[in-house]
Structure formats: C-alpha cells, structure tokens
Amino acid sequence: MKNFKLLSVLLTVGLVAGCTSTQGVLSKAPSEIWTSSQSAKEVAFCLANKNNVSALERDDGSRVVLIKNGYGGVAVALTVRPEGTGSRTEVRHEFGVIGAVWKQCIGTKVSMVSGMTLG
C-alpha cells in the first residue's frame, strides 16, 4: 500500500513536471514553417474554427492558436504572422500526437526543424 502511494505521487509529479507552459512552448524555435496567400486573420480564424479554440492576438500583430491534448497541456502552438499580402505560420510541436486538421488552413510548408528549405 505504501509503495502504491509513493508510485502515485511520483507519477503525478512526473506528469506535472512534464507540462511545459504556453510561454515555454512559444519560446522554442519553430519545428515547421508554412506560408499562405491568405491573410493572418483568415488563417488564424480557420485554425481556431477547426480546433474549437480561440486565436489569441499578440501585441506584435501575430495570432496564436494553441491545440491542447486531453490533459490540457499544449501539444501544438501555431503562431500566424502577416507576411506581405499573405501569412506565415510557425508550428511548434511540444508533445503527443494530435490530428492534423490544422494543416487544411495553413498553405505550403517551406521549412522544417532541420532548417532545410523545401520550397
């Protein structure tokens, strides 16, 4: 019984420690970058709508959409920035596997975490 309680406490601490803050996720380098001919507002609206969340407006004009896992932790953070007449979306993967319905909103992939240009 004592071992079970200890195990429960350790698992809980491990889960809490494994949850990165939203700011922690946003401060990471993007793992993918996508561009779109659609405006940042349009892309952010699509992302928010497809994932039943709100887009957060930032002081720099960007919009952030957070896709959370079943435990409330940020699984993917998408930052949509105006770029020319279109937009640029930076994708930051934190953990877990989630659906990719968000890819229907963001255009063409131009780079990945390795920095290789794809297009």
Confidence of residue 2 (pLDDT cuts 50, 70, 90): low
Q: What is the mean pLDDT of residues 49-74?
A: 90
Please report which confidence band the pLDDT of residue 24 belongs to, taking 50, 70 and 90 as the band edges. Answer: confident
Q: DSSP 3-state assignment of 47?
A: helix
Domains of the chain: 21-112 (3.30.310)
Confidence of residue 87 (pLDDT cuts 50, 70, 90): very high
> Which residue shows structure tokens 């890819």?
103
Cβ contacts of 77 within 8 Å, gap of 6 or more? 22, 25, 26, 64, 65, 66, 67, 91, 92, 94
Per mean pLDDT, which range of 48-57, 88-97, 109-118 is the poorest?
Answer: 109-118
The predicted pLDDT at position 70 comes to 80
**48 close to 101: Cβ distance less than 8 angstroms:** no
Q: What is the pTM of this model?
A: 0.73
**28 phi and psi angles, rounded to 5 deg:** -75, 160
Q: What pLDDT was estimated at residue 64?
A: 95
